[in-house]
């Protein structure tokens, strides 16, 4: 379905952080775009591991970007060539081997300028990037390089717990370098994986601790899909045929789950299974960017991300509206009024909460049993203190907005 600005009141639904055969995913870029389209997304940001492109699949950046551009033309939805970049270090405090994954929402300008080293054998393509503190190939170097090209550096899955991993050192948390989160522009929320749901409260506290009213330091939020493999990655005509019959679909998915689990065990990557439910959970994560009346294309999407016009959902929650739109730069005049529309939130009536936060502190918390699947929520701050304040709306496990700034 072509993007229609009226469908969600100027908000575009996106799938961010998707891996393809260019690095360690099972889908082609075109198939990735088909999966995004078939699951109701308006745009897709592919973020293959750039070190894998260079060192393992031996592909080039022009090939990668061209594949995204071809998918955009074939499917009629923006498929944006982003990238994931990893920095590894040993934490002296925890003696835990750690990884920090930084996302670039687009690598187009950096690739055109020749910033990535594709010629030095055996080295990451960003290993030589210097930082302002005399380091090289550091998290800070990645962040500063992205800012140089007006790309907001995004900290991906800042907490990641892998209790099922068989690899040494991965039984405990490995984290984005927490001192460097302050220099990130975006923080990952609702990132993929049922295991990582245990970190939701840590994530919300982290997001709130970084919330401020200084435009240079404000943090936007996005949601990772981090999709690698699932039954959706198979040949589309076969998948569509099998999906028509529940019995065939169930048998196929079970066969896929067992086959994928066996393949991954043989490969030695035990923490990616189980399938296919994990893949379905990943595809329930959505990042919405506010475009207003603008068309949905690569430029408008990246502009919205640069400006922090985002909110996120997970778990098949259906988003319709959030007002006013968040922004790093724009300040709304009082009175403080917020509106959220989730036509579908929880499938069963059960106790849940609607939470409003002002400058990282809870100012409204309403626990209640949702009598229907939808949420229509309006909030007016009755007595905000004079000054400039950042507001966020949070529905646990379902919705979070980037900060909305009010001057009262």
- pLDDT, the chain, mean: 85
pLDDT score of 193: 53
What are the b/e assignments for 183-206, b being 16+ CB within 10 Å?
bbbbbbbbbbbeebbebbeebbeb
Task: Note the pLDDT of residue 165.
Answer: 42
Average pLDDT for residues 228-241, to the nearest whole number? 73
Which sign, positive or negative, has the C-alpha torsion 385, 386, 390, 391?
positive
Query: Given this model, what pLDDT does residue 172 score?
Result: 45
Query: Which positions ≥6 away from 137 have C-beta within 8 Å?
Result: 87, 124, 126, 127, 128, 129
pLDDT of 394: 94
Q: Is the pLDDT of residue 183 over 60?
A: yes
Lowest mean pLDDT, pick from 261-265, 320-324, 352-356:
261-265
Q: Which two tokens stand for residue 348?
A: 């069963």
- Residue-range domains of the chain with CATH: 11-230+278-316 (3.20.20.140), 231-275 (no CATH), 323-407 (2.60.40)
pLDDT at 7: 92
d(Cα 393, Cα 326) in Å, to the nearest integer?
A: 11
Give 143 or 169, the one with higher predicted confidence: 143
Percent of the chain past pLDDT 90, that is, above it, reads 57
Higher pLDDT, 116 or 92: 116
What does the alpha-carbon distance between residue 44 and residue 16 come to, in Å, rounded to a whole number?
6
What three-state secondary structure class fits 111? Answer: helix
pLDDT in tens, 291-312: 999 999 999 999 999 999 999 9
Q: Across 246-255, 262-271, 338-347, which has the greatest mean pLDDT? A: 338-347
Is the pLDDT higher at 170 or at 374? 374
User: In a 10 Å sphere around its CB, with 0-12 CB exposed, 13-18 middle and 19+ buried, how is residue 24 labelled?
Assistant: middle
- Mean pLDDT, rounded, for 152-165: 71
The torsion defined by the Cα of 311, 369, 346 and 256, in degrees rounded to 10, comes to 120
Most confident of 144-158, 190-204, 234-248, 264-278: 144-158
Q: What is the pLDDT of residue 203?
A: 82
What pLDDT score was predicted for residue 375? 87
Exposed e or buried b for every residue in 309-325, given b needs 16+ CB within 10 A?
bbbbbbbbbbbbebebb
Here the tokens at position 63 are: 């090939």
pLDDT over 70 (residue 288): yes
> What is the pTM for the complete model shown?
0.88
Which residues, including other chains, have CB under 8 Å from residue 97's CB and lie 6 or more apart?
A: 88, 90, 91, 168, 169, 170, 174
Residue 243: predicted pLDDT: 65
Q: Taking residues 376-385, report their average pLDDT.
A: 93
């Amino acid at each position: 379905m072509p993007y229609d600005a009226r469908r969600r009141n100027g908000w575009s639904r996106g799938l961010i952080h998707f891996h393809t055969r260019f690095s360690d995913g099972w889908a082609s870029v075109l198939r990735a775009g088909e999966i995004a389209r078939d699951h109701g997304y308006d745009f897709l940001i592919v973020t293959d591991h750039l070190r894998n492109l260079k060192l393992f699949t031996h592909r080039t950046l022009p090939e990668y970007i061209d594949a995204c551009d071809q998918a955009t033309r074939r499917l009629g939805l923006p498929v944006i060539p982003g990238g994931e970049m990893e920095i590894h270090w040993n934490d002296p405090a925890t003696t835990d081997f750690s990884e920090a994954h930084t996302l670039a929402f687009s690598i187009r300008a950096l690739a055109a300028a020749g910033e990535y080293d594709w010629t030095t054998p055996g080295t990451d393509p960003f290993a030589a990037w210097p930082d302002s503190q005399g380091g090289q190939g550091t998290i800070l170097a990645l962040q500063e390089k992205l800012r140089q090209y007006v790309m907001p550096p995004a900290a991906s899955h800042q907490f990641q717990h892998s209790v099922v991993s068989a690899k040494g050192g991965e039984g405990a948390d490995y984290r984005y370098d927490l001192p460097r989160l302050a220099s990130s522009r975006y923080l990952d929320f609702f990132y993929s994986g049922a295991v990582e749901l245990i970190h939701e409260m840590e994530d919300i506290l982290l997001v709130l601790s970084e919330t401020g009213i200084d435009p240079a330091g404000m943090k936007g939020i996005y949601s990772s899909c981090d999709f690698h493999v699932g039954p959706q990655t198979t040949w589309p005509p076969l998948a569509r045929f099998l999906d028509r019959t529940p019995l065939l679909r169930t048998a196929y998915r079970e066969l896929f789950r067992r086959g994928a689990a066996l393949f991954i065990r043989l490969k030695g990557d035990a923490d990616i299974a189980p399938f296919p439910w994990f893949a379905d959970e990943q595809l329930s994560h959505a990042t919405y960017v506010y475009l207003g009346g603008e068309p949905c294309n690569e430029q408008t999407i990246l502009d919205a991300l640069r400006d922090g016009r985002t909110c996120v959902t997970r778990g098949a929650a259906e988003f319709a509206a959030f007002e006013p739109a968040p922004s790093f730069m724009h300040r709304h005049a009082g009175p403080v009024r917020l509106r959220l529309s989730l036509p579908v939130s929880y499938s069963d009536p059960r106790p849940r909460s609607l939470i409003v936060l002002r400058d990282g502190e809870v100012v409204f918390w309403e626990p209640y049993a949702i009598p229907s699947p939808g949420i229509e929520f309006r909030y007016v701050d009755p007595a905000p203190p004079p000054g400039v304040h950042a507001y966020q709306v949070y529905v646990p496990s379902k919705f979070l907005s980037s900060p909305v700034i009010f001057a009262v």
